[in-house]
Amino acid sequence: MVTRFVQNDKQIMLTVLSVSEFISQINDIIAGEFVVEGEISGYKVSQGKWVFFDLKDDRSVLNCFAVLYQIGQPLEDGMKVRVVGYPKIYDKSGRFSLTVQKVEMVGEGSLKKAYLLLKKKLEEEGLFASARKRNLPELPACIGVIASRDSAAFGDFKRIINNRWSGLTIELFNVAVQGEQAVGEIIAAFDYFNNTADKPEVLVLTRGGGSLEDLGAFNNEQVVRAVYGSKIPVVCGVGHERDESLCDFAADVRASTPSNAAEIVAPDKKDFINQLEFSMDNALGNLEHTLTKMRHGIDQGFFAIISRLEAPLNGCRRLIDSFVGLVGDLGAKIERQREFVLGAERLFNNINPKRVLQRGYSITRDKLGRIIRSATQVDAGDKIMVELSEGSVGAEVVGNKPKPAQTRLSF
C-alpha cells in the first residue's frame, strides 16, 4: 500500500509497511559483521549458556548477546573489550542488540583481569594440581615440538638439543603463535601428536617472549585444556622467565625459556656419562657395603648360634665321654663273661655224659628209666637197659653182686 504525503508543497509517495516488514528491512540494511570496542557493563549468564551484557563508552550503550561457549573466556564488568558480531532488531521485543561471535581483550588491565579470572576457574577445576603432573623420560628418542618454524625460539631449542645430545629426533608441528589462527593450530598440533601411531615421548610447547596480548593464545582456555588433556607429558617454555602463561601451570613441567625447555628434555651427554659413572661407582660401593654388612651379620649370627649351643655341646661331649667309659667297662665285663662262658663250656664238655660214654662207660637204667647206681637196686630176672656211646641194649639181670663194704681204718 502506498501513502501520499505533502511536504513543503511537494507530494511524497511512501510505502506503508507493517512492523514486521519494517524490522526486516532494517535488519537487511544493517546486516553485516562489525567490530565494536567498549567497556562491559551488566554482565550476566542465564541458564549456564546465554550471556547478556552492555557495551558502553562515554556517550552510548549497546546491548549485547552471546552464547557462553563462543566467548571462550570469563568476563566481568569494567573490562575493555573488542567484540565481533552482527546487529539485529528482534521481532518480538523490537530490541536492538549485537549478537557477539568473538571477544578480544583491549588494554593490559582487561587482559590481566581475564587472565586472573580464567586462572582461578581452571585452578578450582584441578587443571593445575601438582599431583597429576607426570615425570619426563630421562632420555627421549623422539621429541614433539609445537612452535613456529621460523621463530628464534625454535631455532634456539633445536641448537641446544643438538649441542647437548645430537641424534635425537625432533618432530616439529609448525603453528602460528599469535593472532587469530594460533589457537586452532595449537589445538590441532596436540590432537595430531596424541593420535599419531608413532607418538613422541615428550611434547614441547614453545615461543619467545611478548606482551600479555602477544601471549594470548597460551592463555586461551581451549589451549590450556589441550595441554592438560595431552596423553604425552608436556613441557611448556613460553616467553621469558618473568612470563607466566596458563599453559605453564597446566603443563607437566614449566621451562623458563625455550632454551631452558631444551635443557630440561635432553641431558648433556658429558654430564649424563659422568652421572652414569658416578651412579655405577655408587652402586658398586653400596653393594660392597651391603656385602660387608651381610658378612658381618652372618658372622654375628654364627657367634650367637655357637654361644647358644656351647653349653648343650659341652653337655653332649661329657655324655659321650661318659658313654665311651661305660662302653669300655662294658667291654671288660663282656670279656670276663666270655672267659667265664668258655670255661663253663669246657667244664660242661668234660662232664658231659656223652663224652664219658665215648670213653667206654655206659649208663644202666631199670624198667622205669631210673639210673642204676648200685647192684642192690636190681634182682635176678629184672629187665634193664644199657645206654652206650652209640645206641643202647636191653638185658636181663641173671645175678647181682653187691660191692663189699669198705673198711675204715683208724690210726
User: Is residue 290's pLDDT more than 50?
Assistant: yes
Query: By percentage, how much of the chain surpasses pLDDT 70?
Result: 93
pLDDT (0 to 100) of residue 5 = 60
* Listed ranges 160-169, 213-222, 250-259; the one with the highest mean pLDDT: 250-259
Say which CATH superfamily domain 128-267 falls into: Succinyl-CoA synthetase domains (3.40.50.261)
Nearest 5°: CA angle at 125, between 119 and 128?
60
Mean of the pLDDT values across residues 128-156?
Answer: 93
CA distance 183 to 188: 9
Domain ranges of the chain: 2-106, 128-267, 269-351, 356-396
Q: According to the model, what pLDDT value does residue 3 have?
A: 61
Summarize pLDDT for 60-100 with one digit per residue, the tens: 889 999 998 888 778 888 888 888 999 999 888 888 999 99
The three grid cell numbers given for residue 227, joined into one nine-digit string? 595441554
Task: Give the pLDDT confidence score for residue 400 in this predicted structure.
Answer: 73
pLDDT by residue (tens digit) across 18-48?
A: 888 888 888 888 888 999 988 888 889 888 8
Percent of the chain with pLDDT over 90: 33
Question: What is the pLDDT at residue 411?
Answer: 41
Q: How far apart are CA 146 and CA 173, in angstroms?
A: 5
What is the DSSP secondary-structure string of 210-258?
A: --TTTTGGGG-HHHHHHHHT-SS-EEEEES-TT---HHHHHSSEE-SSH
pLDDT at position 7 is 62
Cell representation of residue 368 = 622205669
Of residues 78, 75, 77, 57, the one with CA closest to residue 66: 75
Query: Mean pLDDT across the stretch 369-385?
Result: 83
DSSP tally for the chain: helices H, then strands E:
10, 15
Q: Confirm or reject CATH 2.40.50.140 for domain 2-106, answering yes or no.
A: yes
pTM of the full structure: 0.55
pLDDT in tens, 301-355: 877 777 777 777 777 878 888 777 777 777 788 888 888 888 777 777 776 676 6
Q: Which helix (H) or strand (E) holds 109?
A: helix 108-125
**Range of lowest pLDDT (120-129, 180-189, 393-402):** 393-402
Closest-CA residue to 40 (of 76, 87, 68, 84)? 76
